[in-house]
């Protein structure tokens, strides 16, 4: 019996996913619940387990974008694993027994089946492959091989990035690489990326290296048979520098392999080119005191990077919030001395008992959960023509990860103790930094706390995390003079900000909520007593 494996539902707003990688191959025997693939959405990566034991038949390839509910593979539950594994092991032994040249010949024959084998001197044109139905263009992220390098069949030569995933580009023949599209270029599906001048017998540069070792002069003029495509050509990085500075590559002598112009050659040429005009200008100033205003000195380099899929999604959501909500921000300040005294007094005992540190986040989380009970509109959201009031608090915590800002959720934060909140914050933050957050861990929050103070922020107006209606911004703690009982004292003060959707939250509710948070933080015993 053949069992169809479909893309599972991974979130309300997610309609399609990309096959990031297959962990099992077509024809492999898999056990039930064994992880067979990794799927990627615009929010997270998650694993796909086998729903039964049997032989795997892959339908959707890596980097394909498929809709939720689409069939991506089948499992033949009637097949037995022993027969399949034995046959595959026999194949592996046969492959190992073959010499290296025979393997490459077989690869080349299978690659060119139906169109005839490729001959030496022929040029193989490589184009942008189809990577998904909804993807119409890709960007050259990185060239792993340089212009003029010798590449082998199926060797990875570049990384190509779409708005959903990054995938590798293998060489389609043995030969000399001739790069057409540079790093950062955006190409349509089917456009030419590079050409490969097909050769046989391995890399042609090996004979040159032997001649160089035997004492032949490097400065001797190369004959036509010694020249390669790399001679006099700039590497992608060098070409970019020369283009930005307006320097002609033909005026530069390359010191790289086969005469290639390296990045260092381009940088040195840039320095030499910049010295000449500076010298001439200094001479002109000596001769004529009425010379024009001096030119700006120093490097003025720029570089561009393609926005990641996560960054695009965050940008789109933030602009949507600004355009679709009536967002306002109210501010207050909190005297952090009482909390700092508690932490100083009990932090060692707290860590010894619960194996987590006593941070500020647990105090703010507990204070917000109590204040949200008193002002439920701040914990609500708009759904069409209705207001949805939540009787629980799923606290979203903004975390900065290497890929961008993510907002994991602490479920039912109102029921958690201080140590449980701290443990959950540490767990979610670690998963965010490792890129292991699941869709479920980042969806369904009712209120958000963001802490810009860890980066030194004094004051900010945080943007609401839709579809929520409010977000609390924490900032850095600075000692400031304040009036207490008619006396000026130095106290550790934090500014706090509440951004809220004025369509659902009135000024009275927003200001009262923030003042209640201030009140609870400045007298932490209220958090224990709930008053």
Ranges 166-170, 416-420, 449-453, 509-513: which has the least confidence: 166-170
Q: Identify the residue whose tokens are 């939540």.
A: 390
Residues written for the chain: 531
Smallest CA-to-CA distance from 140 within 128, 130, 123, 152 is with 128
pLDDT value for 511: 96
pLDDT value for 207: 46
Ranges 170-174, 307-311, 340-344: which has the least confidence: 307-311
pLDDT band for 38, please (50, 70, 90 cuts).
Answer: confident
Q: Identify the residue whose tokens are 């599209």.
A: 181
Model confidence at 389: pLDDT above 80:
yes
Phi/psi class of residue 218: alpha, beta or left (left: φ > 0; alpha: ψ in -120 to 50)?
alpha
pTM over 0.95: no
Q: What confidence tens digit (pLDDT) does each residue in 140-198 have?
A: 878 899 998 999 888 899 888 776 556 788 998 889 999 999 887 888 888 899 999 98
Q: What confidence tens digit (pLDDT) does each residue in 216-239 have?
A: 444 444 444 455 545 666 665 677
Kindly provide the b/e burial profile for residues 56-83, where b requires at least 16 CB atoms within 10 angstroms of the residue's own CB: bbbebebbbbbeeeeebbbbbeebeeee
pLDDT band for 381, please (50, 70, 90 cuts).
Answer: very high
pLDDT value for 221: 41
What residues are annotated to the active site? 502, 506
Domains contained in the chain, CATH given? 2-85 (2.40.50.100), 101-205 (2.40.50.100), 309-529 (3.30.559.10)
pLDDT value for 80: 65
Are the C-beta atoms of 118 and 173 separated by less than 8 Å?
A: yes
Which segment, 278-282, 300-304, 488-492, 526-530, is predicted with the most confidence on average? 488-492
- CB atoms inside a 10 Å sphere around CB 96: 8
For range 332-354, the mean pLDDT: 94
Q: What confidence tens digit (pLDDT) does each residue in 237-256 have?
A: 677 677 777 787 777 777 76
Model confidence at 299: pLDDT above 90:
no
pLDDT value for 361: 92
Are the C-beta atoms of 205 and 150 separated by less than 8 Å?
A: yes
């Amino acid at each position: 019996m053949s069992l169809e494996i479909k893309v599972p539902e991974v979130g309300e707003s997610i309609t399609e996913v990309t096959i990031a990688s297959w962990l099992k191959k077509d024809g492999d025997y898999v056990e039930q619940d064994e992880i067979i693939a990794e799927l990627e959405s615009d929010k997270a990566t998650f694993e796909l387990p086998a729903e039964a034991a049997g032989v795997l038949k892959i339908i959707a390839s890596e980097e394909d974008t498929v809709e939720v509910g689409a069939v991506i593979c089948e499992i033949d539950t009637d097949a037995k694993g022993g027969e399949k594994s034995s046959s595959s092991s026999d194949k592996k032994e046969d492959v190992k027994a073959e010499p290296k040249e025979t393997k490459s010949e077989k690869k080349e024959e299978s690659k060119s089946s139906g169109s005839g084998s490729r001959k030496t001197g022929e040029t193989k044109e490589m184009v942008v492959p189809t990577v998904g139905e909804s993807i119409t263009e890709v960007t050259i992220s990185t060239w792993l091989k340089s212009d003029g390098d010798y590449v082998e069949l199926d060797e990875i030569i570049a990384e190509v990035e779409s708005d959903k995933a990054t995938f590798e580009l293998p060489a389609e023949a043995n030969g000399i690489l001739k790069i057409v599209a540079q790093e950062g270029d955006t190409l349509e599906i089917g456009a030419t990326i590079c050409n490969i001048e097909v050769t046989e017998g391995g890399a042609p540069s090996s004979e040159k290296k032997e001649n160089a070792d035997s004492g032949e002069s490097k400065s001797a003029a190369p004959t036509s048979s010694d020249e390669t495509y790399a001679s006099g050509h700039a590497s992608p990085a060098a070409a970019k520098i020369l283009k930005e500075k307006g320097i002609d590559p033909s005026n530069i002598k390359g010191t790289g392999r086969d005469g290639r112009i390296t990045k260092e050659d381009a940088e040195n040429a840039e320095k030499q080119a910049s010295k000449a005009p500076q010298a001439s200008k200094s001479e002109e100033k000596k001769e004529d005191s009425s010379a024009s205003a001096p030119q700006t000195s120093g490097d003025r380099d720029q570089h561009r990077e393609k926005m990641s899929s996560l960054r695009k999604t965050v940008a789109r959501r933030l602009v949507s919030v600004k355009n679709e909500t009536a967002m306002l921000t109210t501010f207050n300040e909190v005297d952090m001395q009482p909390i700092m005294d508690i932490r100083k007094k009990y932090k060692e005992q707290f860590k010894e008992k619960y194996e987590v540190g006593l941070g500020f986040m647990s105090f703010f989380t507990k204070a917000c959960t109590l204040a949200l009970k008193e002002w439920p509109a701040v914990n609500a959201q708009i759904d069409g023509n209705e207001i949805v009031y939540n009787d629980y608090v799923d606290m979203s915590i903004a975390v900065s990860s290497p890929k961008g800002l993510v907002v994991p959720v602490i479920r039912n934060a109102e029921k958690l103790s201080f140590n449980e909140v701290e443990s959950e914050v540490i767990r979610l933050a670690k998963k965010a930094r490792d890129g292991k957050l699941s869709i479920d861990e980042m969806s369904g929050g009712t209120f958000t706390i963001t802490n810009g103070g860890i980066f030194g922020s004094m004051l900010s107006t945080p943007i609401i995390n839709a579809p929520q209606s409010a977000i609390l911004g924490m900032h850095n703690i600075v000692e400031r003079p304040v009036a207490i009982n008619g006396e000026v004292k130095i106290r550790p003060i934090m500014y706090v900000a509440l951004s809220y959707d004025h369509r659902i939250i009135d000024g009275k509710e927003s200001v009262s909520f923030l003042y209640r948070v201030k009140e609870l933080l400045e007298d932490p015993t209220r958090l224990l007593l709930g008053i």
